[in-house]
């Protein structure tokens, strides 16, 4: 699924959740959830999530960047901090470096839980009560929507590489797929315009 569609679904999920939880709308929270909805595609060197992160847009560049970043985080944690959340983040970054798009840790529930562990630590430290829930909304919306694509998701990677798919699937980049995503995005925009003034 294209990045703009993930962003639209993530924004819609946030608006819906805000209404259900009776929370006031927040630009910060909206941006955070949309960012989380794009995060799983950080394993793709040319995705929107990687666009502003990777210095080199290639598989080799992605691998070198994330492995070095992960080692740097682990070293920083070892020398100065000593927090399990940073150890998890460092290990996760290294794993991202060695996995390919849609076949690795970022599109699995294990990866989601590891990221949530780091986010929970951050939210607790800075006393932001709902940060973990907001992250789960964005990240979870990405995994949910990707489950309806032909490629499927390795939901339990690295335990198993088996791909899981929804009952109905479509091929990303095909004419049918582009039409489906256009309809999804249009419905998201209509829902947001209709609902936003009420929260």
pLDDT digits (tens, 9 = 90+) for 126-140: 888 889 999 999 999
- Look up the domain containing 126 and give its range: 3-198
Per-residue pLDDT tens over the stretch 88-105: 899 999 988 888 777 788
| Cα 163 from Cα 46, distance rounded (Å) | 22
- In this prediction, residue 47 carries a pLDDT of 66
Q: Band the pLDDT of 36: cuts 50, 70, 90.
A: very high
The label of the residue with tokens 């990405």 reads: 142
- In this prediction, residue 49 carries a pLDDT of 62
- In this prediction, residue 11 carries a pLDDT of 97
Residue 55 pLDDT greater than 70, yes or no: no
Q: Band the pLDDT of 116: cuts 50, 70, 90.
A: very high
Based on the structure, what is the number of domains in the chain?
Answer: 1
Give me the chain's average pLDDT, please. Answer: 89
DSSP string, the chain: --HHHHHHHHHHHHHHHHHHHT----HHHHHHHHHHHHGGGGGSTTSHHHHTT-SS-SHHHHHHHHHHHHHHHHHHIIIII--HHHHHHHHHHHHHHH--TTSSGGGSHHHHHHHHHHHHHHHHHTT-TTHHHHHHHHHHHHHHHHTTBTT-B-TTTTT----B--SS-B-TTSHHHHHHHHHHHHHHHHHHHHHGGG-
Nearest to 105 by CA among 160, 172, 47: 160
Mean pLDDT across 20-31: 89
Q: Band the pLDDT of 173: cuts 50, 70, 90.
A: confident
Q: Band the pLDDT of 56: cuts 50, 70, 90.
A: low
- In this prediction, residue 38 carries a pLDDT of 94
Residue 57 pLDDT greater than 90, yes or no: no
Mean pLDDT across 10-25: 90
Give the least confident one: 61-75, 130-144, 180-194. 61-75
- In this prediction, residue 59 carries a pLDDT of 78
């Amino acid at each position: 699924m294209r990045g703009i569609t993930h962003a639209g679904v993530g924004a819609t999920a946030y608006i819906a959740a805000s209404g259900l939880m009776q929370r006031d709308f927040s630009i910060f929270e909206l941006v955070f959830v949309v960012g989380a909805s794009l995060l799983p595609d950080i394993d793709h060197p040319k995705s929107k999530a990687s666009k502003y992160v990777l210095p080199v847009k290639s598989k080799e560049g992605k691998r070198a960047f994330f492995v070095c970043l992960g080692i740097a985080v682990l070293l920083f944690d070892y020398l100065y901090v000593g927090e399990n959340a940073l150890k998890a983040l460092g290990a996760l970054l290294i794993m991202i470096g060695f996995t390919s798009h849609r076949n690795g840790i970022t599109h699995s529930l294990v990866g989601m839980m590891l990221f949530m562990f780091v986010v929970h630590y951050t939210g607790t430290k800075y006393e932001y009560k709902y940060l973990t829930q907001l992250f789960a909304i964005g990240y979870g919306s990405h995994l949910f929507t990707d489950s309806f694509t032909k490629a499927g998701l390795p939901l339990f990677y690295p335990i198993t590489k088996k791909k899981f798919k929804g009952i109905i699937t479509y091929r990303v980049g095909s004419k049918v797929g582009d039409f489906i995503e256009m309809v999804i995005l249009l419905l998201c925009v209509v829902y947001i315009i209709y609902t936003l003034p009420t929260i």
